[in-house]
Each structure stands twice: as C-alpha cells, then as structure tokens.
Structure 1
C-alpha cells in the first residue's frame, strides 16, 4: 500500500502528490523536502518517490543537467524517513552518518520541461538494535528516473537516543549555544575556482597553498544550515569535496562529480579550523579524473572522500559515461 504524507492510499484511489512531512527528513523548510511518498515492498525493502525541481537556489543546474549533489541530499533524506516511519524511531533521535557512496550516469541528469520524477528502491542490509529501536542501519539504493536506472548508492548511519547523544557531545550538546557561537565565515575562495556563481555558496576559504584550503562555514546559509546544528553537516563536507575537485582543475571548466566514496570518521566541529586537502589520483594531473579529499581538524582526519569527476556530457564521448 502506498503511503503519502496524507496517509495510506487505497488501490484505485487517485494519488494526490505532496511531500512527506519535513520533520521525517530533518528539514525545517518545506522547499528543501524532495521525498514525496514511500511504500514497503518487503520486510526491509521499500520504494520511495521523490521529485527534483527544475531549478534550485543551491543545487544549481550545470550545462542543462541536475546537480549530482541533489542526488546525495535525496538519498540522505531516505534514512530519517524510514527510521521514523517504517522502524518507529521517535523524533528527536540523532542520526550520525558513517559511510556513503554513489555512482551515477551523467547522461541521465538532463533538466526537462517538468520536474524530475524519481523512484528509489531501497533495501536494508545491516541492522543493530537496542530496545527495539535501530542503532545502526545500512541501506542499498537504486535510483530510477521514468523507469530508467540512473544511479546507485549505499550508506550506513547510526541512530542515537537524545540522552546518549547529550552524553557523547558533552559541552557541545547544547545546540542553541553551540550554533549561536559559530564564528563568522572566513574569506571565500574565488567562486569561479570553486565552481560556483554565488560567493555565499563557496565552502572553501582563500588559500595560497595548492590543493589545501580552510573549510569555510557560513551558518546563515539557508540550505546547508536549514536549521541549527551542533557540528558541520555532512552535506557541507560533500560540497567541500566537490568544490575541491573544481579548484584542482580550474582551467578544465565545469566538472561533474559522478561518484563519491565517503567515510565520516568523526564530527567536524565549529570551534577549530578544518582544512580540506585534495590529492589527485588521475594519471594526468592537469585533467579531471579521480582524487582523494580529506577534511583534517586538530591533526586528525575527520572525513575522507574518493571523488571521480568528468566534464559535462556535452563535451564527453557517451561511451565514457560511467554506468549507474
């Protein structure tokens, strides 16, 4: 049975599409909710529907293509949705990202005359529980657009009860106080170098060291900071990896991150400088390809991403497009 934001829909009844409740995907703004419904298809199998707008204030289209990071945010929204609806996790539990990877076909990202309608086929593969509530979950996800596969993803995350989270975070557990004390953003990298049009969207700071930039945190950003948090959001770190890939090859023009393999080792905090370091993996250092991006804070690696970037499909041979 299909479940929408308005409840179950009987067979044969018209489906009136809306978004799922924003609370279920941990978003404050309705405009940032991309999921529209979900359906259980097996014990740990689900179909989730989603929609991408033709334009977005932050996940901007490039060369007529949807931003690959809107795919990442769509996937990110699936796990709080399923935790709260399918698995009965109370609102207020904290989710902690530990692993995420995706691979997509850039030829399938064209912006059409109507919003992109998506279907995510999700399978839960690993679970741990405490008192009937999941404490860690792994998901495999296949993403389809109009019945055609466009991407695959897998992710693992923890689910932490409020009392446990406050104990783990100690003096950083007071979200209101921590968020209010976030320092003002540092001087940004040139937007063109970061692959951005708007200075406000740049998450790398100015640097004279090739392949190394300070992380730039603007807590007033309406998308990356949709609501107060007590540490740097995972999506901001993914954006930092994308911008580092652009900055490594500024003469190559726009590049698309067609895959990432990400590990979140520890929280990135607001009160200490964090450095983004990029290391080419490509055999041709002057051209887009593969690179590793690390976020380093207080001498420890907090985040690692293996990133593959390619030119937009208009400038690449179809035969070289990565398969979803």
Structure 2
C-alpha cells in the first residue's frame, strides 16, 4: 500500500484509537512502509463540537495533533505488538506549523491529510517501558503543513495500575475530593464560541511578572473525556496550554486579538495530573515585536510542576 492507495472510506476500529465514541476516531487508514516507517490517513469531522469551534477560517493544528496521537496509538497496536488496552503516556511533544496556508479552510472540506510517521523502536518488549521517539509530518494536498516530534511510554496494565496507586497514596491530597468551583472565561476571550470548550479561568493572581490562570476541568466534556480516565488527559492539558497562552498574551497587550495562529507548541510532561485537585498555569509572555508572542508556561498541582510548555503565537496570514 502507498499514499495513493490509503483509504478515507471509513475509520479504523475505535478500540485501536483508544476512543469510546465513533465520532471521536480521526484515523481512517494506516500502512507500514518498513519496520519504522508508517503512513496514516486522517480526517477531522467538519461539525466536530470542539475542533470546529473556532473563529478564524483555518483548521486547528491541535486537531491534527490529536489525529496524529491517535495514529501513533493505532500503529502501536497494528504493527509494533502493543496489546489492546495498553496505557500510554506522552512524555514530550513538539509541534511546528510549517505552512499555515495549507490549513486554510474553504468552508466545505474537512481537515484531511496523510501523516508519515518515523517511529524507531529503542528498547523494551513490544514497546513497553521504552521512551519511544517519533517524528510525524502532515501533508495536506501537496503541502507540508506541520511536523510533530515527540516520545512516549507504553505501560503493561498491571504495572501502570500499581504505579498510579502508589502515586495517589503518596500525594498530599485526597484524590476523591471535590475540586473547587472554577469558572471559565468568556469564550470570545480565547477565540472560541462555545463556553463548553473553554478550559481556562481568568488570571486573577501574579507570580512576579507571570500570570496565574486556573485550569477548568469539565469531566462531562464529550471530546476530552470521551472515556473514563484516572488522570487529566493530555489533549485537555495541551488545549489548556494554548488557551492560557492566548489569554495571557492578550492580557498584557502582546496580542491585539485572541484569534491568533499557533506557530509552534512544545510541551514536556513530567507526571500524571489528578482529576479532582486544582491545577494552575503560570504564564510568562514574551512579545515578539511582530504582533505575536512567545509564552512560556508551567502547569502545577500540589505545588509541583507537572508539565511545561512554550507556545508561539502569531497573527494569521492576511487574506
């Protein structure tokens, strides 16, 4: 099978993508070109409740990141001997948008493209406990739209459950406690229309020159909580980083509008975040002088940083 023969006729089985709802599966087809080279056909539904909630006439690059994350999961199961149901943890993710014009929306076509994935196996058994690296490039039509690089770990189920029990027992808060009520900002402040898709609250405190913004968690959100988790899911945290960056950059005047393009987002995850415990972003904004900004962020819980991220924001290209 080659790029020309990959099919967009239907999605892969939902269990391969670790999704509960059929509408949350974005991988249509995959093939192996060799032991470390793979292709995946991806498509984001035009009417998706989260990824279609945007103001600019551009497809969301983080929607493509989610599709690539699913493609990596499918490839692990289909070609790399990772058993179904295996817990997986993203450790590092670097996304660079190479061509914003490739993400331009024409009003009728979904975000659809071919992902080429290089994923050499670096150790472990069937990918277990190995810090497996990958590079994924998304082509839309003939254009290279974006490149995603990262690494992650697959856990044997028993080892994962044992690790999480130990982690929760040694943390200073009750994992079953109710999280404090934290209201989201108005969706227009982060370039959204639907309040349900807002995951950050207003910046009401500072740490020196940095703004502190609460992460707002709605465990009924149909996309971020497509199925049951025992921790905050990675896609929610990534979206929180993006929204916190936009909100903070607008607060200090580095961005003239929250309708801003993500040029790059580089994140590192150093621990699992608990569901029912407050988590906060600390954002430091560095204006770039060209109408955009570089925002450095930490996500903290229990007074400890559990993820860091740098988000590069820029105005969309002129029409």
By the TM > 0.5 criterion, same fold?
A: yes
Per-residue CA shift, 1:258-317, capped at 9, x if unaligned?
A: 211110011111232211111113344x942211111011121111111101112237xx
The question of 1:81 aligning with 2:85 is answered: no
Per-residue CA shift, 1:102-146, capped at 9, x if unaligned?
A: 11122211123322331001111352213x444332111111011
Q: Distance in 2 between matches of 1:119 and 1:15?
A: 10
Residue number in structure 2 paired with 1:203 = 199
Residue number in structure 1 paired with 2:171 = none
Q: Is the 8 A contact 1:179 1:229 kept in 2?
A: no
The question of 1:281 aligning with 2:269 is answered: no
Per-residue CA shift, 1:227-285, capped at 9, x if unaligned?
A: 1101111111111111112212336211121211110011111232211111113344x
Residue number in structure 2 paired with 1:320 = none
Residue number in structure 2 paired with 1:108 = 102
Residue number in structure 2 paired with 1:322 = none
Q: Distance in 1 between matches of 2:175 and 2:79?
A: 31
Aligned residues: 302
Q: Distance in 1 between matches of 2:180 and 2:7?
A: 46
Q: Is the 8 A contact 2:55 2:193 kept in 1?
A: no
Q: Distance in 2 between matches of 1:62 and 1:190?
A: 14
Residue number in structure 2 paired with 1:266 = 271
Give matches, 1:43-192, under 5 Å: 43-60=35-52, 61-104=54-97, 105-112=99-106, 113-130=108-125, 132-136=126-130, 137-170=132-165, 183=179, 186-192=182-188
Residue number in structure 1 paired with 2:318 = 314
Residue number in structure 1 paired with 2:10 = 18
Q: Is the 8 A contact 1:185 1:217 kept in 2?
A: no
Q: Distance in 2 between matches of 1:185 and 1:28?
A: 27
- Relative to structure 1, is the Cα distance of residues 184 and 26 closer, same or farther in structure 2, using a 3 angstrom cutoff? farther
Q: Distance in 1 between matches of 2:178 and 2:293?
A: 35
Q: Is the 8 A contact 2:127 2:153 kept in 1?
A: no
The runs of 5 or more residues in structure 2 that have no matched partner are 169-173
1:190: how far off? 2.6
Per-residue CA shift, 1:67-92, capped at 9, x if unaligned?
A: 12101101111221111111121112
Q: Is the 8 A contact 2:8 2:41 kept in 1?
A: no
What secondary structure, in the 3-state scheme, does the structure 1 residue paired with 2:129 have? strand
The runs of 5 or more residues in structure 1 that have no matched partner are 4-10, 316-324
Residue number in structure 1 paired with 2:21 = 29
Residue number in structure 1 paired with 2:237 = 237
What secondary structure, in the 3-state scheme, does the structure 1 residue paired with 2:29 have? strand
TM-score (norm 2): 0.86
What secondary structure, in the 3-state scheme, does the structure 1 residue paired with 2:55 have? coil
With 201-210 and 158-167 compared, the bigger mean Cα shift is at: 201-210
Q: Distance in 2 between matches of 1:138 and 1:231?
A: 23
- Relative to structure 1, is the Cα distance of residues 51 and 185 closer, same or farther in structure 2, using a 3 angstrom cutoff? farther
Q: Is the 8 A contact 1:290 1:309 kept in 2?
A: yes
